[in-house]
Amino acid sequence: MSLVGIVGVGAMGRALLGRLKLAGQEVIAYDCHGPTLEQARSMGAKIASSPAALAETATIIDVVVRTEDEVLHCTLGDEGVLRAAKRGTLLLLHSTILPRTTRKVAEAAKPKGIDVMDACMVGVPRVVEKGEVTFLVGGPAELLNRARPHLLRMGKKVMHMGPLGAGNAAKLIKNLLTGAEPLLIHEAIKIGEASGIRYPDALEMMKALYSGSLLGHWEERFDPSGKTSAPKPGTNIWDKDLPLAAELGREYGVEIPITEQLAAAGLRLMAGKSHS
């Protein structure tokens, strides 16, 4: 079994480390925060003095840092992974970053014979600890065949989303929906409050009438053939109900920018349908 390196052993990286140790995998770790690195040591990881030192011996390297700058620093920096990684090393970027950052790392790695993939994680640390994380992966299929066994030692599912950077994009659009829902609900209950509805009552009403996410039956609203990504309009929703909700908010002087944009987008889509 190859030696695995983990750069970044905060909450998520440490959870991955725990899964690898359960699988009997030998791991070498690096983190810029001393106490965090000591926790990794206590879990049985070998300790490296820098990402470059880690890369001298690891053949698969998981990068689990938080920001774009941290990814670039620990891979392309003076003491970064690419300074010392051997030809044939597989570098997996798990951070939620832009695809262009992944491509920048891959471009620098290619002349050195180092393979790069994005493998974004869907799940919080407790999900990772249970082995239930899903990896959204971007990169060539032949590299996926190499990465999959390693990823499945840490998680339950690997989804190949497309070329390099597609895993980054998939994670971002998934989080777009996750982050948008409470913001839109907030605007909805503000309109309700302005109309005299207590917000807990509005939330309970919506909970009682919730028919499940569209994603559970997306084929009914989107073309499964892949010819067009534009959704099919719902009866009265886009051209009547969304504009009326926005008008009600304006009538009460409620600040509802998301609702306004949704109403406008629905009308644009309806206009496009009528001209197609």
What stretch(es) of the chain map to CATH 1.10.1040? 170-275
The per-residue pLDDT for range 157-192, each reduced to its tens digit, is 999 999 999 999 999 999 999 999 999 999 999 999
| pLDDT digits 0-9 by tens, 222-271 | 999 999 998 987 778 999 999 999 999 999 999 999 999 999 999 998 88
Question: What element of type H or E holds 147?
Answer: helix 141-154
Mean pLDDT for the chain? 95
pLDDT digits (tens, 9 = 90+) for 246-259: 999 999 999 999 99
Domain with CATH 3.40.50.720 in the chain: 4-164
CATH 1.10.1040 fits 170-275, yes or no: yes
CA distance 269 to 143: 40
Homologous superfamily (CATH) of 4-164 is NAD(P)-binding Rossmann-like Domain (3.40.50.720)
**Token duo for residue 215:** 């994603």
158: three-class secondary structure by DSSP: strand
3-class secondary-structure state, position 45: coil
Q: What is the pLDDT of residue 248?
A: 97
Return the pLDDT at 206.
96
What is the C-alpha separation between 210 and 188, in angstroms, rounded? 14
pLDDT of 84-131, one tens digit each?
999 999 999 999 999 999 999 999 999 999 999 999 999 999 999 999
Query: In DSSP terms, which residues pair with 7 in a beta bridge?
Result: 30, 63
pTM to 2 decimal places: 0.92
Query: What is d(CA 65, CA 62) in angstroms, rounded to the nearest whole number?
Result: 9
**What pLDDT sits at residue 4?**
98
Tell me how far apart the alpha carbons of residues 4 and 13 are, in angstroms, rounded to a whole number: 12
CA-nearest of 92, 31, 35 to 61 is: 92
